[in-house]
């Protein structure tokens, strides 16, 4: 029991840090979209703006996957809470006969575990997609900026 508390604290701290990082990346996605729009507000549309559009599209997808991650993370926490309730009910409820209680609990527990793992897998995929779209959007923005410097170089 002494080892469970520090482990649960580590898991809790890790989840909090990951959620904060997700919010940080979401805020960066929104900020860079606003910055990109601000950079081009006085420019006439040209072919080089397609790369900027790709960057903004990737950042928008990053925002979408970030919100999806937060929703799946919430679902995973709820699934884990349900599994803990099943475990607690089996241990504490002495009014149910063991022959009825344990097979039902095992089925519910295993179904809950499978559901929890599926939701966590989807959440992790969304988290990675959010990060990839952010980074690829930054790369597209850098490419756009380099083209702007090479071909326009302050000329109107």
In this prediction the pTM is: 0.79
How many other β-carbons are positioned within 10 Å of the β-carbon of residue 3?
7
Which of 43, 75, 16 has the alpha carbon at shortest distance from 144?
43
Domain limits, the chain? 4-151
Q: Residues 145, 148, 153, 156: what is their CA dihedral angle, to the nearest 10 degrees?
A: -130
Q: In this model, does residue 3 exceed pLDDT 60? A: no
In angstroms, the Cα distances linking 20 to 13, 23, 25, 151 are 11, 5, 9, 40
Please tell me the class of the 4-151 domain: mainly alpha
| H helix runs in 42-97, sequence order | 49-92
In this predicted model, what pLDDT tens digit does every residue of 47-87 receive, in sequence order?
Answer: 778 889 999 999 999 999 999 999 998 888 888 887 787 77
């Amino acid at each position: 029991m002494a080892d469970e508390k520090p482990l649960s604290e580590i898991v809790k701290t890790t989840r909090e840090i990951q959620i904060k990082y997700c919010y940080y990346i979401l805020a960066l996605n929104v900020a860079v979209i606003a910055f990109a729009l601000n950079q081009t507000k006085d420019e006439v549309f040209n072919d080089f703006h397609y790369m900027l559009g790709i960057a903004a599209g990737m950042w928008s997808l990053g925002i979408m996957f970030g919100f999806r991650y937060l929703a799946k993370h919430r679902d995973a926490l709820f699934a884990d809470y349900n599994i803990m309730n099943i475990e607690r009910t089996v241990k504490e409820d002495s009014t149910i006969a063991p022959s009825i209680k344990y097979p039902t609990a095992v089925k519910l527990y295993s179904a809950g575990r499978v559901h929890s793992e599926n939701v966590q897998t989807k959440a992790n995929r969304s988290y990675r997609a959010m990060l990839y779209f952010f980074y690829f959007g930054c790369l597209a923005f850098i490419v756009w900026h380099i083209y702007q410097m090479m071909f326009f170089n302050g000329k109107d």
